Amino acid sequence: MEMTTDLAVVSRARSGDPEAFRMLVESHSKATFRVAYRMTGNEHDADDVVQETFLRAYKQLQHFEERANFGTWLHRIAVNCSLDLLRARSRADKHYGGDFESAELAGASGARSEAQQDRLMISAELQTQVATAMERLSANERTAFILRHFEGMPVEEISKTLGIQINAAKHTIFRAVRKLRESLEPFVRSTPCNT
């Protein structure tokens, strides 16, 4: 949906038209899912995040500034929802001594196997390594990296999203990339097509 059309529909949704909100949900669900999946690395969690994102969007619709892009605004909410989930899980991991982490790894591999059926662009082994490398990132590192790498968000915006200083945001992105590099460098050397 184009930005101008979005604005007209958002305007109708704000005035309480459920049909307009349905149109926004249907046109932005897949893109929101992609952000959520990259953030959580798990299909089931990503579906939950999509639901929560639209619920929050519905509640905050009055605060949406019409100059902004609705899709970008929605992505920001999806990132925050995912971040909440990752942080809560991180706390639960500490509390329950990693049981949650094991469950999540199992869940993530389940999601990966579905993804593999869709498109096998890299080998299953490599996919597992990449997913595992991503899972090793902390909630902040993962968020900062995804926002910079996939969403192309400027560092200043990332620092606002994470509630940290700009330099800290830069360093968080750097830490994330370094961890990914440490885990995945051997696979780059053995995969000539990627160099």
- Closest distance to another protein from the beta carbon of 23 (Å): 9
Nearer to another protein, 35 or 67 (CB): 35
- Closest distance to another protein from the beta carbon of 4 (Å): 20
Binding-site ranges for another protein (CB under 8 A):
18, 21-22, 25-30, 33-34, 37-38, 43, 48, 50-51, 54-55, 58-59, 92, 111, 114-116, 118-122, 126-127, 130-131, 133-134, 148-149, 155, 170-171, 173-174, 177-178, 180-181, 184-185, 187-189, 191, 194-195
Q: Which ranges of 18-164 does DSSP label H, i.e. alpha helix? A: 18-40, 43-60, 70-96, 99-118, 124-135, 139-149, 155-162
Nearer to another protein, 30 or 67 (CB): 30
Closest to 81 measured CA to CA, from 107, 46, 108:
46
Tokens of 12: 């109708």
Nearer to another protein, 67 or 80 (CB): 80
- CA distances for 10 relative to 75, 81, 130, 169, angstroms: 15, 21, 38, 32
Nearer to another protein, 11 or 34 (CB): 34
Question: What is the C-alpha separation between 107 and 70, in angstroms, rounded?
Answer: 31
CB of 20 within 8 A of CB of 60?
A: no
- Closest distance to another protein from the beta carbon of 21 (Å): 7
- Closest distance to another protein from the beta carbon of 140 (Å): 16
